[in-house]
Amino acid sequence: MEISAHVTYRMARPDESGELARFMCIAGGGVYEFLFDDLIPFVTAVDLLSAGIGGERFPISYLNCCVAARNHDREIVAAANVFPADLLKDDNYMLLGSERHDHIRPMLELQDWGSMFLNSLAVGDAYRGSGIGARLLEWAEGRAVEAGYQRLSLHVWADNISAVKFYKVRGFIEVGIAGIPTHPRLKHSGGSILMSKPVSPAA
């Protein structure tokens, strides 16, 4: 029996904020650790993200997250978060240190405004290649359509070749590249690619 046959897809719950934060960090490829680790002594990126996810005020809220779960719904193996891209115009959507914020500002400013934004999508190592990521992407597209958006957009690190291929195969096209300066705590090359895909009720 395929792994995906034992997976349940559902909206996230507030008590799952810690696991959601962990998957969000995986999807971010180090950007959240760069922004938040040690910003407050002894507080990690997962800690700060968990606080935002567990509430209803920020776009990263559990209300905007879908999970894939196994073992009678007890084990979260993947998660996705979507929200309107225009919410990124509000610099207060997350607590950011100004110097760190400025470093990734090109990524925040290069957006497909007016689209639904796939902020994160991550699948646990043991479950990759089983179709779970594709199902969560379908959920994100459906969420965009339900909310009246015509496009779904996302950012992906240029050096994450497998992720870039995953999205291109599923109809996303490259819109632009945000140049992110080299930094010892954010080790990516080639910048962050903005990708977008038209979505419609028939898609």
pLDDT of residue 72: 85
Over pLDDT 90: what percentage of the chain?
79
Q: How many CB atoms lie within 10 A of CB 41?
A: 5
Residues 6+ apart with CB under 8 A from 149: 84, 114, 115, 116, 199
pTM to 2 decimal places: 0.93
The domains of the chain, with CATH numbers, are 3-149 (3.40.630.30)
Nearest to 112 by CA among 84, 140, 90: 84
Residue 166, pLDDT > 50, answer: yes
Query: pLDDT digit string (tens) for 133-154?
Result: 999 999 999 999 999 999 999 9
Nearest to 149 by CA among 202, 111, 199: 199
Q: Give the chain's count of helices (H) and strands (E).
A: 6, 7
CA distance 99 to 26: 23
Q: Which residue has the tokens 């496009």?
A: 151
Residue, of 72 and 87, whose pLDDT is higher: 87
Could you tell me which residues are beta bridge partners of residue 179?
none
Residue 95, pLDDT > 70, answer: no
pLDDT of residue 73: 86
Reported residue count of the chain is 203
pLDDT of residue 96: 52
Residue 90, pLDDT > 90, answer: no
